[in-house]
Structure 1
Amino acid sequence: MISTQAWKDARLVWDYHQMHHTAKACSVAVGLGSHDLSVATTAVEAYQAGLVPLIVFTGANSPTTRARFPEGEAVAYQKHALALGVPSDALLVEPNATNTGQNITYSRRLLEGAGVNVSSVLLVSKPYEQRRAYATARKLWSGVEIICASAPMEFPEYVDSIGDGRLVVDMLVGALQRLMIYPQQGFMIEQEVPEDVMAAYQRLCHAGFTSRLVPAEVR
């Protein structure tokens, strides 16, 4: 049973993870691989709205996606986009990345190899991964404008889509922890964490929402 306070704290962390960017025309959309096909759908919608002329899907597999997407996350996204009517020449697939840093680095390398001039990127992720994706891209792909996007879902709707409230809160907590520790490891730029968000994070940790934390940080 998740307490009222924990739900309140989780909503606060959820909101912090989203960058609240306004979608705009970009050189390319990059869809970050995951278990969630809404990432691919959001990238397709941007293409169909004329915001991007090209989509890169990036991602291999993780333990949570191997059974669902045996050919890999990026390939599954590509097939989804083709089924939604995107022409094959508007899609590039990067099938090897296994983390966000590799998603960015390998996509950048793929586009450079294809001779695509990139000045701005519509970076498409799960809703609670926006800030992490942004901070990583700003570190590893300097010189381009990063606009974050994801499926327009409110927190309760996302919880319902996953079907496991505790897992969602654990993921929110884990993503926030990484925002705080990864800059020191050179993986992303620093992001200021407001005091109320930090307090919510600490309460959620003490309440036991720790399954997605890096082990050294569990307390």
Structure 2
Amino acid sequence: MPTTPQTIPAQHRADVECLWNYHNMHHEIRPVDVGIGLGSHDLGVARIATDLYHRGMYPTLVFTGANAPTTIETFPRGEAVHYREYATDHGVPAGAILIDTRATNTGQNIENTRALLAEHQIQARSVILMSRPYQQRRAYATCKKLWPDVEVICASHPLSLDDYVTSIGDTKKVMDMLVGDTQRIDKYAELGFAIPQRVPDDVRAAYNRLVDAGYTSRLV
């Protein structure tokens, strides 16, 4: 049966699921001071941010993100701008939202958010960090490096792997991103951008097999 853009190749499914499960931090959601939506190609970040606001998980919501080569076509006015538009269109008061339109990487997401909160005299002792499902671990490690005294809870739009791939509409893009984020766990810790995270042997093996299979466009 031919592989469509929304179908994970059978020979790689176990490895893709291994990486997918590794990057999910499985944090329990509870009320915090601030919600932070990290810009990306995934509108699911705005969806979960909007949902958690309506569930009373935070009074203030920050969207942070400019554009990247993978997002410029989807969000031509900038990631944070489109996220804010989604949230306000779905009932989040504009006055509850702050946006940073300059960040082009996760480190800048965190640094710019801290500066924005300080500018508005909002103290954050705890945050819910919302990202793509496979960005959770890297986002957590980056935040704890740059903002060590804040309590971090990670969240993503709750979709299964297959439903997520369907929502993005491009299997190879998702697989390449998964492989790239796995590489960054070690590399960014080595460079001092993030705290170290344990990478189990089965995750390393799955990562290596997917690299060998050519899912490498998001490697650094």
Q: TM-score range by the shorter chain?
A: over 0.9
Please list every run of at least 4 consecutive aligned residues from structure 1 whose deviation after the TM superposition is greater than 4 angstroms. Answer: none
Deviation per CA, 1:184-216, whole angstroms, max 9, x where unpaired?
1111000000011111111111111111111xx
TM superposition shift of 1:3: 4.4
Deviation per CA, 1:97-123, whole angstroms, max 9, x where unpaired?
000000000001100111101100100
Structure 2 vs 1, CA of residues 3 and 68 (structure 1 numbering), >3 Å: closer, same or farther?
closer
Matched, 1:142 2:142: no
135, 150, 160: which one pairs with 1:154? 160
How far apart, in 1, do the equivalents of 2:26 and 2:176 lie? Answer: 22
TM superposition shift of 1:142: 1.1
Structure 2 counterpart SS, 1:182: helix
Structure 1 counterpart SS, 2:71: coil
In structure 1, runs of 5+ residues without a counterpart are 215-219
CA contact (8 A) 2:42 2:168 kept: no
46, 52, 69: which one pairs with 1:46? 52
13, 19, 23: which one pairs with 2:25? 19
After TM superposition, the structure 1 = structure 2 runs for residues 53-72 of structure 1, keeping only pairs within 5 Å, are 53-72=59-78
TM-score (norm 2): 0.94
202, 205, 211: which one pairs with 2:211? 205
How far apart, in 1, do the equivalents of 2:173 and 2:72 lie? Answer: 18
Partner of 1:217: none
How far apart, in 1, do the equivalents of 2:10 and 2:67 lie? Answer: 35
TM-score (norm 1): 0.95
Matched, 1:99 2:105: yes
Which residue identity does 2:190 align to in structure 1? Q
How far apart, in 2, do the equivalents of 1:166 and 1:87 lie? Answer: 37
TM superposition shift of 1:5: 3.3
Partner of 2:193: 187
Q: Calculate the aligned-residue CA RMSD, in Å.
A: 1.1
Partner of 2:135: 129
Which residue identity does 1:186 align to in structure 2? G
90, 94, 105: which one pairs with 1:88? 94
In structure 2, runs of 5+ residues without a counterpart are none
Percent identity between matched residues is: 53
TM superposition shift of 1:27: 0.3
Partner of 2:172: 166
Structure 2 counterpart SS, 1:46: helix
How far apart, in 1, do the equivalents of 2:67 and 2:217 lie? Answer: 20
